């Protein structure tokens, strides 16, 4: 085996896309190639590696152990090449360049507006953002697949730097006909008979809710686990229960008055948004500019949009 002499960057690019989709057809569509061309390139890569990288599981495709190992190395190689390209662009100045930003799912509700604002001021900087759970973003940071990440907890699992970007309040939401919708500063125990709608285990929202229950010595009568903020909001509007969610997931529902915020003692629960990057990551001028933009503008933008809803709780 001598991958250095035989593999090509094109093979690595195709492999990474195929590994992400776990589908040769979808990889071919994204790369504007034919499925046979994708299959041929991956077969050559497997021959060069001397090990199968994909295996058939029923009708689907999954990565083998060798494939799982190679995909992380491939992402780091392609990330280094991306950095080299960006470094060359940096010679032209901070107004030209590419930047990859990862977002946890809750941040997708407000970050596009900030990205749009930044894009108007810096039209020459191309920002690509991806959405994933916390674990996926930490892996992407480690693999140098993204330059920055926006998340709600400091990452102790990797050698990264997290800088506070803005406050991140969690509020108790309920249907608009809830009997306690007009009550002020009532105890959480008043909700002991309610069904609490929670995110899946390991999600940031779930951890905040469980911490609140623990601090208040509170046990809900019933809980229901749902897989997304959108599903929880729809379930609340349908009267299926109440939930503790990030205020920043509610711009549309609060504007249209489809959901109300309950004034429970101890809420809002204050958390923080962070801009995260690896300590060994050297940000290029475009990345430095975007980081500074988030640290200077995110808090003001979120306060402008959501501050009035918190003022009503005082």
DSSP letters spanning 145-207: S-SEEEESS---SSSEEEEEEEEEEEEEEE-TT-TTTT--SB-GGGGTTSEEEE--TT-HHHH
Is residue 84 assigned to a domain?
A: no
pLDDT, residue 144, reads 87
Same domain, 161 and 280: yes
CA distance 213 to 225: 15
pLDDT, residue 169, reads 94
pLDDT, residue 231, reads 94
CA distance 158 to 255: 39
pLDDT, residue 3, reads 62
pLDDT, residue 314, reads 47
Is residue 78 assigned to a domain?
A: no
Is residue 234 assigned to a domain?
A: yes
Same domain, 252 and 172: yes
- Retrieve residue 256's tokens: 């249209």
**Tens digit of pLDDT at every position of the chain (314 positions):** 556 566 788 888 888 888 888 888 888 888 888 988 888 888 888 888 888 888 887 777 888 898 888 888 888 888 888 877 776 766 556 566 778 899 988 888 888 888 888 888 888 888 888 888 888 888 889 888 899 999 988 888 888 999 999 999 999 999 999 999 999 999 999 999 999 999 888 777 888 999 999 999 999 999 999 988 999 999 999 999 999 999 999 988 988 999 999 999 989 999 999 999 999 888 888 888 899 999 999 999 888 888 777 755 54
Same domain, 206 and 286: no
State how many domains the chain has. 3
User: Residue 65 is part of a domain; what is its CATH number?
Assistant: 1.10.10.10
Same domain, 151 and 277: yes
SS3 at position 242? strand
Is residue 313 assigned to a domain?
A: no
* Structural domain of 20: 3-71
Same domain, 180 and 214: yes
Same domain, 185 and 138: no
User: Residue 303 is part of a domain; what is its CATH number?
Assistant: 3.40.190.10
Same domain, 149 and 62: no
CA distance 142 to 181: 45
pLDDT, residue 238, reads 93
Give CA separation, 21 vs 24, 44, 229, in Å.
8, 19, 24
Same domain, 221 and 277: no
Is residue 143 assigned to a domain?
A: yes
């Amino acid at each position: 085996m001598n991958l250095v002499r035989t593999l090509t960057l094109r093979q690595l690019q195709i492999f990474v896309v195929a590994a992400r989709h776990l589908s040769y057809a979808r990889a071919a569509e994204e790369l504007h190639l034919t499925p046979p061309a994708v299959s041929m390139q991956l077969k050559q890569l497997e021959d060069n590696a001397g090990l199968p990288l994909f295996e058939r599981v029923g009708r689907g495709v999954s990565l083998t152990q060798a494939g799982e190992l190679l995909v992380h190395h491939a992402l780091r190689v392609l990330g280094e090449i991306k950095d080299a390209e960006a470094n060359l662009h940096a010679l032209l100045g901070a107004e030209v360049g590419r930047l990859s930003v990862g977002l946890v799912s809750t941040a997708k509700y407000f970050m596009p507006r900030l990205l749009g604002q930044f894009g108007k001021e810096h039209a020459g900087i191309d920002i690509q953002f991806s959405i994933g759970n916390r674990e996926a973003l930490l892996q992407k940071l480690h693999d140098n697949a993204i330059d920055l990440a926006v998340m709600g907890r400091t990452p102790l699992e990797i050698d990264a730097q997290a800088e506070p970007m803005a406050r991140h309040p969690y509020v108790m939401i309920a249907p608009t006909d809830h009997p306690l919708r007009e009550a002020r500063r009532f105890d959480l125990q008043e909700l002991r008979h309610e069904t609490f709608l929670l995110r899946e285990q390991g999600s940031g929202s779930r951890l905040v809710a469980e911490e609140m229950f623990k601090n208040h010595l509170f046990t809900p009568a019933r809980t229901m686990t749902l897989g997304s903020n959108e599903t929880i909001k729809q379930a609340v509007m349908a009267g299926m229960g109440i939930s503790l969610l990030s205020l920043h997931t509610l711009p549309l529902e609060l504007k249209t008055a489809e959901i109300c915020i309950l004034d429970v003692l101890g809420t809002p629960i204050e958390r923080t948004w962070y801009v995260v990057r690896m300590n060994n990551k050297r940000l290029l001028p475009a990345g430095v500019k975007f980081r500074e933009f988030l640290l200077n503008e995110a808090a003001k933008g979120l306060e402008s949009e959501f501050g009035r809803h918190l003022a009503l709780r005082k």
